């Protein structure tokens, strides 16, 4: 009973944060609502015994990416002197895309069985994090390295775009 209350609490917080993002106009408050939604989802992951995903959610998304977004918003408001306000346009097309994604997800999940089966045999006394690390470094090392290179390229691109050095033509 207590676990289901906590689960529903996290679900309601995530849903309200996500719905509030639709109607908020201030980008800073939108980023704070996104942090709330991501932290609530991390709580759901903890209750689903997916601790690695929960920690990754907090460290990578809430801790890393959104902090960079918040610093960017705070710095740009200092430069321009006014808060960033977003005008909502294309409400009808956005609603149609959202509803079509919802229908696609519901259609995909209707035929699925979510029954818990027998746990897979794991060698020795490994915990979830060790199993993920072994699988990542054995079977998924190429996608792991490609993702690292892609992140490095995007970081270099962001640094080039953000640099204040003007080109000879401009």
**Tens of pLDDT, residues 94-121:** 889 889 988 998 898 887 776 655 555 5
Which range, of 10-14, 39-43, 61-65, 123-127, averages the lowest pLDDT? 123-127
pLDDT at 11: 92
Rounded average pLDDT over 156-165: 67
pLDDT at 116: 58
Q: Confidence class of residue 59 from pLDDT cuts 50, 70 and 90?
A: confident
Mean pLDDT of all residues belonging to the chain:
78
CATH annotation of 1-86: 1.20.120.1200
pLDDT at 6 exceeding the cut of 70? yes
SS (H, E, C) the chain: CHHHHHHHHHHHHHHHHHHHHHHCCEHHHHHHHHHHHHHHHHHHHHHCCCHHHHHHHHHHHHHHHHHHHHHHHHHHHHHHCCCCECCCCCHHHHHHHHHHHHHHHHHHHHCCCCCCCCCCCCCCCCCHHHHHHHHHHHCCHHHHHHHHHHHHHHHHHHHHHHCCCCCCCC
pTM over 0.85: no
Return the higher-pLDDT residue of 61 and 88: 61
Q: What is the pLDDT of residues 13-36, one digit of tens each?
A: 999 999 898 888 777 788 888 889
Domain definitions of the chain by residue range = 1-86, 127-170
Percent of the chain with pLDDT over 90: 12
Rounded average pLDDT over 57-61: 83
Percent of the chain with pLDDT over 70: 75
pLDDT at 165 exceeding the cut of 70? no
Rounded average pLDDT over 111-132: 66
């Amino acid at each position: 009973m207590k676990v289901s209350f906590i689960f529903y609490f996290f679900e309601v917080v995530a849903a309200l944060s996500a719905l509030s993002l639709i109607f908020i106009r201030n980008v800073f408050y939108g980023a704070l609502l996104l942090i709330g939604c991501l932290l609530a989802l991390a709580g759901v992951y903890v209750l689903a015994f997916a601790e690695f995903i929960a920690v990754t959610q907090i460290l990578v998304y809430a801790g890393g990416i959104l902090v960079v977004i918040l610093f960017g918003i705070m710095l740009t408001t200092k430069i321009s002197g006014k808060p960033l306000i977003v005008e909502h346009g294309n409400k009808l097309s956005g609603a149609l895309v959202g509803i079509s994604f919802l229908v696609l997800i519901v259609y995909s999940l209707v035929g699925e069985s979510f029954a818990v089966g027998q746990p897979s045999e794991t060698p020795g006394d490994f915990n979830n994090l060790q199993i993920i690390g072994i699988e990542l470094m054995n079977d998924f090392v190429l996608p792991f390295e490609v993702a690292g290179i892609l992140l490095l390229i995007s970081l270099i691109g962001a640094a080039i775009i953000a640099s204040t050095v003007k080109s000879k033509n401009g």
